[in-house]
A and B are shown apart, each in its own frame.
Chain A
Amino acid sequence: MSVPLVVVEGPEAAVDDARGELASLGWRGVVEVAVTDAASAATAVLAALEGRPVLVRAAAGRDVVDRLCDDLRRLGHLDHRVGEPAGPLTAEQHALLALMAGGASLGAAARALHLSRRSADRRLAAARAALGSASTGAALAAYRRRLGRLPAGTIPGAEGDRPAG
């Protein structure tokens, strides 16, 4: 089973985005590490060695990040994101799109998230804008493509958290 290991070299928004994607794929207990030097890089690698999903915000020198990526590629499914994300989504937007990508209607998704139809509508419009999609269908397609980069986790609530090492 391949564990997601995400390294972000970009703005905070890109980290938020990755966090949202991991959550909507069902990953719990994700270890977040801000890597600024060799020592924090080692922390991230040790967490990956324990089999835990890792989300790294990389702000160290090139050598350190190169070595880190080299290691993570060996320990799981490395998703290395460089630069601005195509359009970062908030965690709330992720939750909505995740339900709709599973086939739920907007009304059903709104009920599941305890939202009014109006708020769900607004949230969906914001997600469409972030993804640069003209229609909801296009936004869901873009969303599925994005999630396709990462392995799926457990279904929330079905098996509880992933084992933590």
Chain B
Amino acid sequence: MSALVGRDEDLAEVRATLRQPPRAVLLVGEAGVGKTALVTAALDGRAGLPPRVGGALATLTWMPYLPLRRAFPDLDERVWAGDADHVLADLRAAVAAGAPVLVEDLHWADPATLACLEGLVGAVPLVMTVRRGDAAAAGVATRLEKAGASRLDLEPLGGADARLLLDRLRPDLVPAEADALLHRSGGNPLLLEELARDGASESLTLAVLARCRALPEPALEDLATLALAGRPLPAEVLPEIGALRESGIVAVDPGGLAAVRHALIAEVVVDLLSAERRRRCHGTLAGLADHPGEAARHLLALGDREAAKDAALDAVAAAPTPGERWRHLATAAEASDGDGAVLLRARAAEAACTAGEPDEAARLLDGLDDDCFAGPHGVAVAMARATQAFQAGEWDRYLAEVERGREVAATGSEGEALVRAREATAALVVRNDAAAALRLAGEAVALAEEHGLSPAGPRATRAGALAALGEAGWEPEFEAAIAAARADGDPYRELNARHNLVFALTVAGLLDRAWEIAATQRARCLELRLLKRARSADISRLVVAGCRGDHDWVLAESARLLAEPLSPGDRCDVHSVRGGSLAQLGRVEEALAAADALGERASHAADRLAVRLLANAFAGHAEAAREAWVGFGDSLGQEDVMITEITRAMSWACYEAGWPLPERAPLPPDGLVAGHAPELDGLAALAAGRPAEAAQLFADAQGRHGPRRWEVVWCRWAEGEALRLAGDPSATSVLGAAAAAAEEHGYAPIATRCRRSLRALGERPAGPRRTGDDPLTPRERQVVDLVVQGLTDADIADRLGVARRTVQTQLASARAKLGAESRAHLAALAGRDAP
């Protein structure tokens, strides 16, 4: 039993009542609400004799005096054989010592016990509990109140208290997971504890159902209706609301809306409804619905497809946001047959993508077989699938779907215009062929105009291609595409275009402007109620902040975002940026963990390697960095900016390890990576033994890195280091300035290098701070924890991205420190400390 949380007022009230004659409390509350925990705490706090504890049991209701026998096990058997007056007299004598008496679950008590308890009120401090919702509960409660007991109703925990309790039970949950759990439990501590420990286990489901079974049939029907509605209903439409409230399962708010208190109960009820009752309840709800979309859902469940489709299409027309639109389109598709259903499904999938729900879109499209490509809406389906693949970040499938669209679309048709626009996107985003993208986008714009379609999509692609080619005019072209999409009421293309504009601005090194447009995008997404898309604007800002070297902000913001229910692609993007920042802060383990969090996702394979490479390179682990570098293999040349960044990091790692510098592609003279060319030229000069020239180049690089603070500070150090090697006396002051800046911003890898350089000059800089009192190093602790979880050395090596040999060394060292004789002993020792 966990400690009592959120019951301070109730506790004070129970204690106060026990001080006032007749010192009798009757606690009434639903199952699992914490009656026992509360009274135990209340009685514990009293000085004097420990309480006598008894209670009724459901299986043994037929045993006379059982609840009292349990409280008075010391009394002679013969006591209970006497008549009622005799028993009461003996009990009064027994309680004269004054120990408080607790008798629980009196809804199951036998009549003789209840009569006896009435007689005990006033004779001794007495606490009784009754479970709300049981058939006999109301009668028993009334009876004991009449006898003089003060009734106290115990309600489920409020939001903040429930959260506090959950936080103690499961400190590991992210806020979104915690919210879901709290919602399901409705603040019932028992449900919360069980859910937190095992999830919705079969055992818990059965316990919840047992509670519902206690309801009379008409009340059960109302509960089923309310659960199926999936939202609160006005209390007056539920005839049995009185019984439901009494049971504690349903609550009515001050506005008169009734809702199932614990979402878990609603889930269980909905899962186990009979087909017949389900139909009946949907019929009731279709009649009650005041919104066409909701009516459509219930009509569909009833089997009235024609009416459901009409209602759903009404709802589509009235829907103000993409998030609502796709749901109603999906209902309409489900209520339709034949080609009409195919088109509605494709539209619903596109709308779901607009709403940032590619998984929902995939579910919708999975329902279509390949025959539909031969039908009149083949292109629409192929394009919807392509959109979905794009959103899900599955580039190969995107190419395949576009290719399929090309096969299906007739020459000179509207379909051809749609397909050409996607081909342009494929060229730009997937094939990285901006010149081809520019040509295809031009054709797509012309085709779109010819067929009276919106040119917003291809224009945005054209803008992106121009930006990638470094040709002028991309920014106004983006603006034009955004304006066109807005004019056409096409939020998907509007948001995509603005998103790509932010990206282009970032690549161009115009970080302030990129930040500003990302803020516009965020506001627009919120206006359209597209939370997921708003998050992608947040991610754009994260990227910009990372480029600026605002790593503390990146860490705080990324932690906030990771606590949200992100799509897998977004989550990977966040981990990727976070990993980059951690690498630049020298937090290698965490950076590698962020890289691991990217998993095997194809669209982030390069990010994963890049983060590994950066973390290892800046930490001076040249071998590990080279492993990641080799891993790039054929992904090289796909993402210009990323390749430039890792080439830069790898070049430094090679220089520091004394290896030859890697070859490098020609670098762009401006934009985000404008500083890289002089920096790498400087590095080449340094490696060739021309430090004076290198210092010049590093000084130049600082200017050209512009808003990128981390890179600027790095080059300041590099300049100082080059000056030192050249024997220039200004080295000390340059290195000192670099060290101060690195310390100020927590750029540990740069600070380390500054210290090293200063030491080489004979200076004695302050050492790094050390903390921790665990006998194990953090890495050893990490490895041991994985052993306790049952992973093999190979698994651990894989997980942590180190060699198996390293894991074995760390384990041997941990074993020596903890005095473990074997691996199993180590796991047993360490497992004992684990929660």
Q: Do A and B come from one complex?
A: yes
Q: Determine if A133 is an interface residue (Cβ-Cβ < 8 Å).
A: yes
Q: Determine if B787 is an interface residue (Cβ-Cβ < 8 Å).
A: yes
Q: A49, A65, A103 — which one has the most chain B CB atoms within 10 A of its CB?
A: A103
CB distance from B106 to the nearest CB of A (A): 13
- Specify which chain A residues have a CB less than 8 angstroms from the CB of B790 in the assembled complex: 133, 135, 137-142
Whether B829 contacts A103 by the Cβ 8 Å rule is yes
| A80 to B105 alpha-carbon distance, docked (Å) | 21
Whether A68 contacts B59 by the Cβ 8 Å rule is yes
**By the criterion of a CB under 8 Å from any partner CB, how many residues of chain A are at the interface?**
40
Q: Determine if B483 is an interface residue (Cβ-Cβ < 8 Å).
A: no
Which among B201-209, B347-355, B424-432, B766-774 touches the partner chain?
B201-209
Of B57, B201, B210, B821, which one neighbours A71 at CB under 8 angstroms? Answer: B57
Q: Determine if B825 is an interface residue (Cβ-Cβ < 8 Å).
A: yes
- Specify which chain A residues have a CB less than 8 angstroms from the CB of B825 in the assembled complex: 103
Chain B contact surface mostly: helix
- Specify which chain A residues have a CB less than 8 angstroms from the CB of B455 in the assembled complex: none
| A70 to B32 alpha-carbon distance, docked (Å) | 11
**By the criterion of a CB under 8 Å from any partner CB, how many residues of chain B are at the interface?**
32
- Specify which chain A residues have a CB less than 8 angstroms from the CB of B57 in the assembled complex: 45, 49, 71, 74-75
Q: Determine if A69 is an interface residue (Cβ-Cβ < 8 Å).
A: yes
Q: Determine if B828 is an interface residue (Cβ-Cβ < 8 Å).
A: yes
Q: Which residues of B811-826 are within 8 A (CB) of A?
A: 820-825
| A64 to B58 alpha-carbon distance, docked (Å) | 9
- Specify which chain A residues have a CB less than 8 angstroms from the CB of B782 in the assembled complex: none
Q: A103-B828, A137-B823 are in contact. Are A81 and B203 (CB under 8 A)?
A: yes
Contact pattern, A 72-96, Cβ under 8 Å of B = 1, otherwise 0: 0011000011110000000000000
Whether B55 contacts A42 by the Cβ 8 Å rule is no
- Specify which chain B residues have a CB less than 8 angstroms from the CB of A64 in the assembled complex: 59
Nearest residue (CB) in B for A44 is B59
| A83 to B205 alpha-carbon distance, docked (Å) | 13
Contact pattern, A 18-29, Cβ under 8 Å of B = 1, otherwise 0: 000000000000
| A82 to B201 alpha-carbon distance, docked (Å) | 9
Whether B824 contacts A74 by the Cβ 8 Å rule is no
- Specify which chain B residues have a CB less than 8 angstroms from the CB of A62 in the assembled complex: 206, 210, 213
Q: A46, A74, A133 — which one has the most chain B CB atoms within 10 A of its CB?
A: A74
- Specify which chain B residues have a CB less than 8 angstroms from the CB of A104 in the assembled complex: 824
Q: Which residues of B48-101 are within 8 A (CB) of A?
A: 55, 57-60, 70
- Specify which chain B residues have a CB less than 8 angstroms from the CB of A159 in the assembled complex: none
Whether A137 contacts B59 by the Cβ 8 Å rule is no
- Specify which chain B residues have a CB less than 8 angstroms from the CB of A103 in the assembled complex: 820-822, 824-825, 827-829
CB distance from B492 to the nearest CB of A (A): 44
CB distance from B456 to the nearest CB of A (A): 53
Nearest residue (CB) in B for A101 is B828
Nearest residue (CB) in A for B794 is A135
| A111 to B100 alpha-carbon distance, docked (Å) | 55
Whether B791 contacts A138 by the Cβ 8 Å rule is yes
Nearest residue (CB) in A for B834 is A144
Q: Determine if B635 is an interface residue (Cβ-Cβ < 8 Å).
A: no
Of A71, A80, A139, which one neighbours B59 at CB under 8 angstroms? Answer: A71
Q: Which residues of B789-835 are within 8 A (CB) of A?
A: 789-792, 820-825, 827-829, 831
| A133 to B791 alpha-carbon distance, docked (Å) | 10
Residues of A within 8 A of B (CB): 38, 41-42, 44-46, 49, 62-71, 74-75, 80-83, 100-105, 133-142, 144
Residues of B within 8 A of A (CB): 36, 55, 57-60, 70, 104-105, 201-203, 206-207, 210, 213, 787-792, 820-825, 827-829, 831
The 5 closest A-B pairs by CB, nearest first: A141-B790, A138-B790, A82-B202, A103-B825, A80-B203
